[in-house]
Structure 1
Amino acid sequence: MSKLTEDLTYDYLSAEAAPTREERIEATYAFGGSCTGLKQGMGQGCTKYNSRKFAQGGGCQLSLALGIVRSFQNVVVVIHGPLGCASNNLGVAGYSKTFRVLKHKPVTDNIWLHTNLDENDVIAGGIDKLREAILYAEQEYRPDAIVVGNSCVPGIIGDDIDSLIDELDGQLSARVVPVHCEGFKSKFVATGYDSAYHGVLKKLVDPIKKYDRTAPEDVDGATADAAERYLHSKTVNLLNVGSTSYGDEVELSRLLKALGLNVRVMPLYASIEEISRIGEAALNISICATHDDYLIGHLKERFGTEYVIDTLPIGIKNTNQWLRVIAKFFKLEDEVEKLIAIENEQLEAALEPFKKVLKGKTVFVGGGETRIFTTAEFYQSLGMKVLGLKPHNFDRFAVPMIDDIDDQEAVIDVAPGQPSEELVVLNRLRPDLYVGHTGANAWVTKLGIPTTPLFGQSFNYMGYSGAFELARKAVRRLQNTAFTKKIGANVALPFRPEWYESNPFDNIKEAQQG
C-alpha cells in the first residue's frame, strides 16, 4: 500500500451533478461482523448491496457539502430549500469563525441566505426566489463567489438551478457555484463531499496548460525546459478536511518542509483566488480518501497532477509510510529516511511512560474509515487491544487497512449513525476506552465507558507530535474515570434492557451471494 495509488477513472464534470457513491465506488454502509468477514465480503463484491430494515439516523449531504464551501473566504452561501435546511448553519456560525482564528485566516462572518421554499413553491417552483437571492447576494455583499446549495425539495420538484446560473453568467462579478446535494439520491452521506467538489471543479478551478503539470516526456510538443520545470517543482497541495486542526496542519507542513517542499494548505478556509490555482502543483496530498478522492481524481485528469491517497498520517507507522510515498515521488528517499530516523527515535523515547499505562488495555474506535483504522493501529502499537471498530461507511480505500488490526475477529459495525447498534456492541465488549467521532461520546458515557474524541480543532492528532498527543490523551482519560463511572451509575440508558440482549446486527439485510 506504500505507493502512489493506482489511477481511478474520473470523467463526471460534463454532468450537472456528481454521481452517487453507489454508482462510482465500491462501498457499503451496512455490515456487522468481524474484520475477516468484512474483507471477504468486500473481495466478493457482495457487501455493497447490504441494506437495513430500519435506519435510526445518519448525516445530511447538504451539511457535509456546505462544510466545505462555507469555509471559503469572501463567499455567500444561498441555501435553496425549506427553512429547516438552514438550521445547521446557526450551530456552525460561531465555530467557523473560531476555526478561522485557530488557522490564522482572515476572520470573516459566515454569511448565508435562504430561499425559504413553502407549499406554494413546491407546486409553482422556486426558481424566482433563487434568482432574487443570488442577485441580492451580489448587490449586498459583493462576494468573490456565490454558492447555491440545492437541497432535497428543489431536487424533487425539478428546479433547474444550472440553467438559472447559466442565465446569470456574465451579469455578476461573483462566480456562481451550483452544489447538488439532494440527500434522497444516495445512502452515502459522503456523497456530499463529491457534490461540493463537483461545483468547485466546474466553476472555481481555472485551467492551466496541461504539460506544465504532467511529466513532459508524456506530452506531445513539451520542451526540455518544461521537463526541468517539472522535475524541480517542489510545490505540493496539502488537502485539509473539516476534522483537520491547525495543529495538524502545522505538524504535517513541518515534516514536508523538512524535505524541502513548498506546502500550500487548501481548500478549506482558502480564498477563491487560491482555489482557482489548485491545479498549479506537482503533487496533491490527501489525508482522507473519503473526503478527497473525487477532487484529486479530476485534478489528475485535467492537469496531470499526481496524488497520494493511500493512508492517513496518524501514528508512527502510518506517518512513516505517508512521508515515504511523498518522498519517493520527489526522489528524496535518502532525505526522508534520515528525517524518519530522527523523529522516530525522539518519539519512541517520549512514548515509553505511556506504554506502561496502556499495555493490556482495550479500545474501541468509531468514526471515519481511514481515521479509525490508523488510530486503532497506533493504539495497538502502544500495547492496547482493539476490540472493535465502527466506520461510518467502508470502501476500497480502507480494505488494505484491515490487515493492520492484529485480531482479525475484532468486531466491525459499518453504520452511519445507528447508535442503537453501537451501544449494544459496546455494552457487551466493555472496552477500557472508547475513541469516537463528535456526537457519539455522550451516548457511550452513559454506559460508564471512558471516552476521548477522535479529532478536535484545538488539538494535534496527526504526524509525530500528534501521536504523542493521542497517547497522552488516552493515559489521562484512563487515569481519571470517576466522572464516567458516576454518569454510568446514575443516568438511565437510552434503550430498554431487553434491547441490549438482542443481536445488534439483526437489522442488517445481507446481500445474497451468487
Structure 2
Amino acid sequence: MKGHAVSDKPKIKDLLDESACEHNATKKKACNTTTPGATSGGCAFEGAQISLFPYADAAHLVHGPLTCLSSSWETRATPTSYEGRDMTQMGFTTAVTTNDVIFGGEDKLYDGIVYVMEHYDPKAIFVYSTCVTAMIGDDIDVVCRHAEKKFNIPIVPVHAPGFVGGKNLGSRLGGEAVLKNLIGRKEPQGDVSHAINLIGDYNVTGDMWQYKPILDELGIRILSTLSGDGRIDEICTAHRAKLNVIVCAKSLVTFTRKMKERYGIPFVSVSFYGQRDTTNAIMAIAEGIGDPELIERTRKVLAREEQRLDEQLTPYRELFKGKKAVLNTGGNKSWSIASALQDLGIEVVATSVRKATEADKEKAREYLGENGVLMTNPGAEQAKMIDKFKADLLLAGGRSLYTAIKKGISFIDVNQEKKKSYGAYNGLLSLAEDVKNALENPVFRCVRKEVPWEK
C-alpha cells in the first residue's frame, strides 16, 4: 500500500496511567501489568481478541503468522443470539511468511480484507496487528482506511501486538479501538431513557442471559454490550446510553472513563455472581439511572426474586453447613465466586489473586476476612491450603483436578472453559446443584479410600 500517514495508535503509557483506577497514584506501575517478553497467562493480542471476539456479526482478521490465530481463536464459550452466520466460529489470518517480513505485508492484508468481504459480508472487520507485523512496520491504519472507503463498513485497526504487555492491557487496547472507530457512528431507535451499556460481560456460558430477563421486566434497555452477544450496529449507538455498567472487568475502566468524559455517561462497577452481588448490582443500575419509580419497582422485584431463591436454596444450605472451599481462578472471579459460595453457606478459606488487580485483591480480602488466605502462587499453595484448613472442595480450572484427586477432595471446574452458567440467581442454583453433586460424587469417595496394599 502507498501513501503512509502518521499512525493514530493508542499510547501505551496513557493506558497504564489510568486516572479512574484508585491504585495508580500509590503504585509505581499500573495494576496487572506484564513485562514484555514475560506474558505468562496471555499476551496483549490475546486480551484484545477476548474483548472483541464476541461480536458475532464482525470478522476478526489477524495480520500475522498463522500461529497467532491458533493461540487465541475461540478460547471462550461466548454464545450469541445472532441469527446470521456466527463469525466467532470463523478464524481469519493473513498467514504472514518470511517473504512478507522482507517485502512488507500490507498488500497481503488488503487482499485478505477483500477476500473476507466477498465471501462473508460481515458488518465490520477487526484487523489485529501482531508482534511480527508491528516490528516490520506494516501500517494497518492506512490499509484499513483504504478498505473502509471501498466497502463502506467499519474496518477497525487493533494495535495490540503481544510484546507490549499482558491480557489486561490488551483488553484496554481493544476498548480503545472500539471507542475510536465505532462509538457514535449511528443513532439508536426508540426510547433510551432507561438504556444502559454492559461493559466487560463476555457472556461466558450465557451468564448475561441469566440476569437480562430481570432487566427486561424492569424496563431497563440494554442498548449495547461490549462484548458478550454484541452487535456492531448496537455498539455504534452506545453514546446514547444513560449508564455504563462494568461487569467484573476493571480492564475496561479506561473505556468507561473516556465515555464519561466525551458523552457524560456515568458508570458503575458490579458483579452478577451470587445472591447478594446480583441484588446489589441490579439495585445499583436502577439508582444509577436515577428514576424514582424505577427504583421502587426494582426493590419490589428483587424482594420477590430473593424470597423465591431463599426457598429453593434452603435444602442446599443445610447440606453445606461446615463445608470449606479453596478457590483457584483468575481476576475478578477470585472474589465474585467466593461471594456466591458464601451465599450457599460455604466458607471460602483461600482464593487465588495471582491475576487479580489491586481492586480485586481488596474485594477478595473484604469477602474472605482477615483469616482468609490470598494465594499469590496458587499452583504451589493450593495443596497446602487444602491440608491446612481441611477443605472439602476445590474450585479451579481443569488442570487443578489432579490436586483434588491427590488430596481426595471434591472438585468443580469454574474457569471460562466451564459448560454451565453460574451467573445471577438461577446461576447460583446451578452452582448449588453442582457443589452438591461434587460432594456426593462416588468417584471422589473412592479416591479417599486407601488402596489395598496400604491398609
Give the TM-score of the pair, scaled to structure 1.
Answer: 0.73
Cross-structure match for 1:283: 243
Cross-structure match for 2:370: 408
Cross-structure match for 2:283: 324
The CA distance in 2 between the partners of 1:128 and 1:50, in whole Å, is: 36
1:242 aligned onto 2:202:
yes
Aligned partner letter, 1:133: G
What is the correspondence of 1:13-52 to structure 2 with a 5 Å cutoff? 15-17=8-10, 19=12, 23-25=16-18, 45=27
Aligned partner letter, 2:443: A
The CA distance in 2 between the partners of 1:178 and 1:273, in whole Å, is: 18
Cross-structure match for 2:3: none
* Counterpart contact for 1:361–1:432, Cα < 8 Å: yes
The CA deviation string for residues 48-67 of structure 1, in whole angstroms up to 9 with x for no partner, is: 69999997941233233223
Which range is displaced more, 332-341 or 149-158? 332-341
Cross-structure match for 1:81: 64
Higher relative contact order (CA 8 A, sep 6+): 1
Cross-structure match for 1:466: 427
What is the correspondence of 1:171-190 to structure 2 with a 5 Å cutoff? 171-186=150-165, 188-190=166-168
**TM-fit CA distance, 1:84:** 0.9
Aligned partner letter, 2:210: E
**Cα gap change, 1:390 to 1:154, in 2 (>3 Å):** same
Counterpart among 312, 323, 343 of residue 350 in structure 1: 312
What is the correspondence of 1:224-373 to structure 2 with a 5 Å cutoff? 233-239=193-199, 241-246=201-206, 248-264=207-223, 266=225, 267-309=227-269, 311-329=270-288, 330=290, 331=292, 332-373=294-335
SS at match of 1:190: helix
The CA deviation string for residues 456-513 of structure 1, in whole angstroms up to 9 with x for no partner, is: 67533222222222222212211115248549989xxxxxxxxxxxxxxxxxxxxxxx
SS at match of 2:197: strand
The CA deviation string for residues 237-296 of structure 1, in whole angstroms up to 9 with x for no partner, is: 2346335333x3233122223333223462333332122112222122221233532332
1:62 aligned onto 2:45:
yes
* Counterpart contact for 1:27–1:394, Cα < 8 Å: no
The CA distance in 2 between the partners of 1:375 and 1:126, in whole Å, is: 45
Q: Percent identical across equivalent pairs?
A: 24
* Counterpart contact for 1:138–1:173, Cα < 8 Å: no
Counterpart among 361, 373, 395 of residue 435 in structure 1: 395
Aligned partner letter, 1:470: L
The CA deviation string for residues 430-465 of structure 1, in whole angstroms up to 9 with x for no partner, is: 63212224x444443443442213266753322222
1:139 aligned onto 2:118:
yes
The CA distance in 1 between the partners of 2:449 and 2:42, in whole Å, is: 27
Which range is displaced more, 479-488 or 80-89? 479-488
**TM-fit CA distance, 1:178:** 0.9
**TM-fit CA distance, 1:136:** 2.6
State the number of aligned residues: 436
**Cα gap change, 1:245 to 1:280, in 2 (>3 Å):** farther
* Counterpart contact for 1:236–1:282, Cα < 8 Å: yes
**Cα gap change, 1:440 to 1:181, in 2 (>3 Å):** farther
Counterpart among 143, 166, 175 of residue 164 in structure 1: 143
**Cα gap change, 1:321 to 1:271, in 2 (>3 Å):** closer
The CA distance in 1 between the partners of 2:32 and 2:449, in whole Å, is: 34
**TM-fit CA distance, 1:389:** 1.0
Aligned partner letter, 2:333: R
SS at match of 2:239: coil
The CA distance in 1 between the partners of 2:43 and 2:201, in whole Å, is: 17
SS at match of 2:228: coil
**TM-fit CA distance, 1:196:** 1.7
Aligned partner letter, 1:85: C
Cross-structure match for 2:345: 383
**Cα gap change, 1:376 to 1:73, in 2 (>3 Å):** closer
The CA distance in 1 between the partners of 2:82 and 2:154, in whole Å, is: 25
Give the TM-score of the pair, scaled to structure 2.
Answer: 0.82
* Counterpart contact for 1:194–1:294, Cα < 8 Å: yes
The CA distance in 2 between the partners of 1:91 and 1:235, in whole Å, is: 30
The CA distance in 1 between the partners of 2:14 and 2:274, in whole Å, is: 29
SS at match of 2:238: coil
**Cα gap change, 1:489 to 1:44, in 2 (>3 Å):** farther
* Counterpart contact for 1:449–1:485, Cα < 8 Å: no
Cross-structure match for 2:134: 155
The CA distance in 1 between the partners of 2:158 and 2:34, in whole Å, is: 28
**Cα gap change, 1:121 to 1:461, in 2 (>3 Å):** same
Counterpart among 417, 422, 440 of residue 479 in structure 1: 440
SS at match of 1:465: helix
* Counterpart contact for 1:147–1:177, Cα < 8 Å: yes
SS at match of 1:346: helix
Aligned partner letter, 2:433: R
